[in-house]
Structure 1
Amino acid sequence: MTKTSSFRITRRGLGGLAMGLAMAGAAAAQDTITIGVTGPKTGPAAQYGQAWVEGFDLALDAINADGGINGTPLEYVFEDSQNDPRQTVAIAQKFINDPKIVVEVGDFSSTSSMAASPLYQRAGLVQFGFTNSHPDFTKAGDYIWSSSIPQSQEQPLLAEFAYEGLGMRKIAVLHLNTDWGTTAKNLFVEAFEALGGEIVAAEGYLPDEKDFRATLTRIKSAAPDGIMMESYYPDGALIARQVKDAGIEVPVLGVGSIFSPDFIELAGDASEGVYTTAYFSPSFPRAEIQDFVKSFEETYGHEPNSFNAMAYDAINILAAVMREYGTTREEIKDGLGQISGLPAVMFPEVAFDAETRRVSGPVITPLIVKDGAFEIYED
């Protein structure tokens, strides 16, 4: 057996948290080691779940071809949360009560993930969030870990790039009106104003919003010299197209979550000249990145995006911890605090700060869309 791409875990008739805790160490005696994944397979964020599956499966193929976890195959089961906090709580109860689940991965948004964090913490099951950039995500306790860079670190870097690198002084900010988007906006605004910049407009929008014309009319009248998008790539692409249609001719900068070939495809020629930052790009020359890109393209026939890479790294990080430190829930938690020097795609080396439980030492790279592709921006 290698991987599984099932999206509903089988109920095993275990009723109650106490029994789940009592059997938490039993996974070592099983014939497979199982990761529980919660994320969007349907709903507005389904494309991210699909990107995860590609990254997960590529990693598992290589891990199991190389003997799995010290001779035991590694697998995952994927519960569809639709990125809904109510669903993540229900899924958490299932995973906690299933002794085969040794670690949980996900959910997609910090809001959805954090709704379930207290349950995982109380049960002693690691919640490993690899797309969770909310600065408070890991604060629920010592079983909550993340390989995602927190917005408290990324947003000041974006503000510095806007102010120092692009010469922006008066910015209009469009942001998703979610906990993630509002937190990102607030952190960016604070950092940009501290540098001496001015926020001339700050406009929130709903995740399913499609028409930004009224918002852009207000922004145009504010006369910014730059636009900042705290967006994901589908809504960011819509904004970029409508900025162009509105005749607003100022530089556009987006948070790193817009970095995807799909952003360029959806935005078309409106993507030209859009700036972002990234910890990973298929064009980066580092050997681990180029090996991943080659394998990914051979397997799937298209270029990987950062969500593919983050998912790939998440499985490989957990596999490395299990090989070295053990496969029980407690051993995985302890191992995450000890592992270091692990090569990965997103970062040259992976290690975690034992106090914040966040990945440490990342380096951000500015990008620009040029001739229909992201490339490194060099002023």
Structure 2
Amino acid sequence: MRRRSFLASLALVTTPVAMPPWARAEEASGDAVLVGVSGPLTGQYAQYGAQWKRGFDLAIDHANAQGGVKGRKLGYVFEDSQSDPRQSVAIAQKFVGNPEIVMELGDFSSAASMAASPIYQRGGLVQFGFTNSHPDFTKGGDYMWSDAPNQADDMPHLADYAINRLGLKKLGILYINGDWGRTSQELMLAAAKQRGAAIVASEGYLPNEKDFRSTLVRVRDASPDGIILISYYPDGALIVRQMRDLGMAQPVVAAGSIYSPKFLEIAGDAANIGIFTDTNFFPEDPRPEAQAFMQGFKAKYGMDPDSYAARSYDAMIVAWYLAKTYGPDRKAIHDGLGAIKDIPSVIYGRMSFEPGTRRVAAPMSILLTVKDGKFAQWKGN
């Protein structure tokens, strides 16, 4: 399978962007400090890689405008894994063997990241899985870290939304039949039972599936009063459209992975009927960090960011803060993750890590619905 790589330009972009509140105008120069990125630039998840790149590039602009890493520019090498575990393993070997790379970001899916974790662990290179919510990801070794909320926290939170906030009691689950989807489904089953709800149907589908009607008919015939959707946004949007075509008007409470303007575009009018989800980043968040990021992103790209752009921005800022605080050295970055506090964050405001779990401390989440064709904060029934 062909793999494509991308070396980020280290020249500052001339497009004016809004600088975050912690910015200083002091440009970096000299040899680059490199971060490795393993993620999808092609294949079915390429749209996520495109958003990653936008967030990374904006973070690079900001970091280098503020002096980079002790006067050296920050840059990154983006290797295309297609989020395929076979490719992520090959990329890990390449990154570990390149002494210029001081930290790795990715991969997109937990399965692709976890396949490569033993290589990063043996090579002493931090693997920062900033979209990896699988509970076992950070258990792969002390070089595995993440600022993504854990699925073991996400699914109970989503169950609370569906059952305790929206009052749903008979749930049907649709989930993508991969490692992330199966684990999320198992956690949702337990969380729903603990909260007194019945699961009347639970159906998996293949990652490349496009026609969900036979699956949806089985769920419909079980008479749920609400649907739990564990999907990415392309398949999630198609499921919602086909649900409504089949006359299924039940509210859909979806994992935060569907949160994207593209979900609304693909789902069309079907998205206006009872869609609920959550996210760690929302463009209308009034915090100064979030608004500065929003303004900078729109000035550079002419569009609103989604949560994946915000996550990639934050991940590159983490790499920058570690390198400039503790030095551009693999072990120094590893040791620094357990000690550093209050890294500026678009998503969390300030970010620190729990040394025991190697995950972000006290993640927060925002409840959303769809109103008039746009995502909006849920204010209650």
TM above 0.5, one fold?
Answer: yes
Match for residue 109 of structure 1? 109
Match for residue 74 of structure 1? 74
Superposition pairs for residues 203-222 of structure 1, below 5 Å? 203-222=203-222
> CA separation in 1, counterparts of 2:75 and 2:102?
11
- What are the ranges of 5 or more consecutive residues in structure 2 without an aligned counterpart? 8-29
> CA separation in 1, counterparts of 2:104 and 2:179?
22
Match for residue 372 of structure 2? 371
Match for residue 294 of structure 1? 295
Q: What's the offset of the Cα at 1:343?
A: 2.3
Q: Once the two structures are superposed, what CA deviation does each residue of 1:129-167 show, in whole Å capped at 9, x if it has no partner?
A: 100000000001111100111100110010111110010
Q: Once the two structures are superposed, what CA deviation does each residue of 1:23-69 show, in whole Å capped at 9, x if it has no partner?
A: xxxxxxx8210001110111111111111000000110111111111
> CA separation in 2, counterparts of 1:248 and 1:91?
44
Is 2:334 the partner of 1:333? Answer: yes
Q: Once the two structures are superposed, what CA deviation does each residue of 1:62-83 show, in whole Å capped at 9, x if it has no partner?
A: 1111111110001000111111
Match for residue 275 of structure 1? 276
Superposition pairs for residues 24-43 of structure 1, below 5 Å? 31-43=31-43
Match for residue 23 of structure 1? none
TM-score (norm 2): 0.91
Helix, strand or coil at the partner of 1:132: coil
Is 2:318 the partner of 1:320? Answer: no
Q: Once the two structures are superposed, what CA deviation does each residue of 1:260-291 show, in whole Å capped at 9, x if it has no partner?
A: 11111110111113000111100111111111
> CA separation in 2, counterparts of 1:339 and 1:246?
52
Is 2:184 the partner of 1:184? Answer: yes
Match for residue 167 of structure 1? 167
> CA separation in 2, counterparts of 1:261 and 1:87?
29
Match for residue 92 of structure 1? 92
**Segments ≥4 residues shifted beyond 4 Å:** none
Q: What's the offset of the Cα at 1:177?
A: 0.2
Superposition pairs for residues 339-350 of structure 1, below 5 Å? 339-350=340-351
One-letter amino acid matched to 2:80: D
Aligned residue pairs, count: 354
> CA separation in 2, counterparts of 1:79 and 1:249?
42
One-letter amino acid matched to 1:246: L
> CA separation in 2, counterparts of 1:135 and 1:168?
26
> CA separation in 1, counterparts of 2:350 and 2:68?
22
Q: Once the two structures are superposed, what CA deviation does each residue of 1:74-96 show, in whole Å capped at 9, x if it has no partner?
A: 10001111111001111111111
> CA separation in 1, counterparts of 2:221 and 2:74?
56
Q: What's the offset of the Cα at 1:340?
A: 1.1
> CA separation in 1, counterparts of 2:370 and 2:5?
35
Match for residue 14 of structure 1? none
Match for residue 15 of structure 1? none
Q: What's the offset of the Cα at 1:339?
A: 1.1
> CA separation in 1, counterparts of 2:251 and 2:285?
24
Q: What's the offset of the Cα at 1:362?
A: 1.3
Q: 2:5 is matched with which residue: 4, 7, 28?
A: 7
> CA separation in 1, counterparts of 2:279 and 2:56?
20
> CA separation in 2, counterparts of 1:84 and 1:72?
33
Is 2:125 the partner of 1:129? Answer: no
> CA separation in 2, counterparts of 1:337 and 1:117?
19
> CA separation in 2, counterparts of 1:202 and 1:72?
52
Match for residue 151 of structure 1? 151
Helix, strand or coil at the partner of 2:175: strand
Match for residue 248 of structure 1? 248
Match for residue 62 of structure 1? 62
Q: 1:8 to 1:299 in 2, by over 3 A?
A: closer
TM-score (norm 1): 0.92
Match for residue 193 of structure 1? 193
> CA separation in 2, counterparts of 1:168 and 1:340?
40
Helix, strand or coil at the partner of 2:5: coil
